[in-house]
Structure 1
Amino acid sequence: MRPMPREAGLENGLKVLREGYMYIPNRRKSFHASLFETTLMGQRAVCMGGEEAAKLFLSEEYFIRKGAMPGFVQKTLLGEGGIQSLDDNEHRNRKAAFLRLMARDRVDEWGKLIEKELMTATETWIQKESIVLYEEAQKILTKATCEWAGVPLDEADIDERAEQLILMVESPASPGITHVKGRAARVKAEAWIKELVEQVRKGDLTPPEKTALYTFSWHRNLDGSLLDVKTAAIEVLNILRPSIAISIYLCFTALALHQYPEEKTKLFEGNPYYLHMFIQEIRRYFPFFPFQAARARKEFTWKGHTFKKDTLTLLDIYGTNQDPAIWESPETFNPDRFQDWHSSPTNHVQYQLLAQGGGDYARTHRCPGEWNTVRAMEVFADHLANRITYDLPEQDLSYSMVNMPTRPKSGVVLENVRWK
């Protein structure tokens, strides 16, 4: 037994907001430890990172998700009662529905829809002097995702729905009016999908069987009862909202092509696996989710340190993706590091690349839409590198390491878009 390194202070939540993605990595480095103890939201908390810490954190034996997410995250990003707050058999039952939606044929269909909407959008881009990729990507993703999920969407409603979905992503850690807008967006979006679920159950709307709207309208709990309408709506939004969040990664894709022009040359050579390697390095290198939260299921000891039952625990996602114990020269953008990851992001890499969680898809809270994310990024990267030309005017392409989530500040402005 040995004492866990402890950060001084009665409350350190404001430090998280001031340091953002670097809060946990900074202290892991200063303590020369994979974990440390602190006080967040008035309670003892343990922050940890690295491959071994990820294996522990993602173990059902030691951690649960119930009660881990604070209210301000549930009321904006996640919704109350969704899959992120479930454990054990309840979680596996709900997760199985998500995984059925991510079957290979469905991921292939998703990629085709993304490509279709991207091609259509490009025809409008070439008529304009400039476009903001962040905003355009949200519209493309909203249209493609709603069609893929079986959610009816009128052309006139695209901008409104895209704004609601992205506000839920941008607002959890934002102060003031942005957070208020995020809560309002959550309420409106849930009302929208609840109405559709009710229409499905009444027989007034019949979405295709392999879609999210159909699946969660008819999904049953372990006791055989249907999900209540609100929970069903939240789970449909747990398909729509993360899909629109990919717009952040698409901005980083364009930024990587700009900052590392040699990569565009390699992508032009047409090696599909190099395209995959390029996308995985973007997901490792650039910040997306800062950390995940759970609570200790029971009291236990790990590496001489004691975790008490119900201890709030944060797993350092960004810091693990930048951990020099895992990655050689992690500060360097290098897609070649993934050349041997032919099964990525599964099997032996489950606890190294944590861009959207880690561990086994069926048992842990790893994002089931990870393959959809990769496919959308591959389609966009290939489009930007091989199908169109464009100019990047002078703009602020920097991104904050404090704002969570972050993105290039300009949203990536493209000018003079043309077909190759």
Structure 2
Amino acid sequence: MQPLLASDTDVAPERGYLRNRVLLVLVLIALAGGFGLSFLTHAPNRLISGRPVAWSAILADGRFLCLLPGLALLIGPFLRQIRTNHILIALIGAAFAALLFWLAGDAASRLADPASTSARTSFGGAFWVIEAITALAIADALQRAGFGPATRIGISLILVVPIALVLVSGSADQLSIMKEYATRRDVFGAAVVTHIQIVAMTLVPTLLIGVPLGILAFRRPSLRGPLFAVLNIIQTIPSIALFGLLIAPLAGLVATFPVLSQFGISGIGVAPAVIALTLYSLLPIVRNTSAGLEQVPGAVIDAASGMGLTPSQIFRSVEIPLALPVFLAGLRVTIVQAVGLTAVAALIGAGGLGAIIFQGLGSSALDLVLLGVVPLIALAVIVDASLKLVISILKGRAA
């Protein structure tokens, strides 16, 4: 059965004026961030800490109107909990997020000095807090509206369009992070591609090793304890330590068999990164493969056996489809974890977005760090949302 959706005529009884405590808390946090932190900072160059830009300068000449959607969100916690109002809150939140981005870019353009190209205008803490809170408010509104995962993802993509338009229009080009991107456009694109390639290269051996081990753990319960103990120990090793431990063995292996270097294997670079990431990724794959097979009802297997299916047919046609949602949940954890840990692999020369992050840290350039961090977060969110959608579709079909 499909879940009942909130509509304009089907609303649970409400008491009092406060009807959305979650949104109220989010709004209060956003207000605290807006008043307690700086929205923008300005510095003569990228190496000097910037000074806060006054709100009066940012909102001059009627630009305070950009804050009106934010004020409208203040009413949100007291509105009736119906789908129309939830959609309205999501639309207002999207407009507010885009206007804040435009406001920051506009202020940066006005602060820019053609005679001093090294000057930098950067996002302050208030910008990141308010934008993050607005995103959470939008997600809360879409969930309360009763939309399914696919619809929520589709609406979210539409709501991102205003921010994309601000970005494409060039209104934000004078912001420090955009200047960092402009000077590293080619390097940035290559870093994103390399990052995705390392994650994909990690996924292949992880599945080839992890899935059979998960099936083995399911078939042989006596092996489950020792297997998970080993995989748990691997998880406790700090990532940078594991990367470092692989350098000497791989370097020695290449010295003994020089032909391996022709396949890209060396003590540093992609090879140790993929090996270490594979070791880290095995636990969720093995655990969820085994758990997915365990949760298949015995009655279903007995029914399939009574219909004359062989054990291999039962495994392919019954156990695998029913275990797939649990397995995909583990795959989701694995990929998101690999996306994050791949950044650390840049320390051993693997490249990717981590190279940009550590370059920014080494030169004390915060916006260069953000140039690597923001797409890293976006990549993880995209992977997470995509696999959530697939899992929800499979569960819907099973139901």
Q: Same fold (TM over 0.5)?
A: no
Q: Which has the higher helix share?
A: 2
Q: Which has the higher strand share?
A: 1
Q: Identify which of structures 1 and 2 has the higher relative contact order when contacts are C-alpha pairs closer than 8 Å and 6+ apart.
A: 1
Q: TM-score, normalised by structure 1?
A: 0.35
Q: TM-score, normalised by structure 2?
A: 0.36
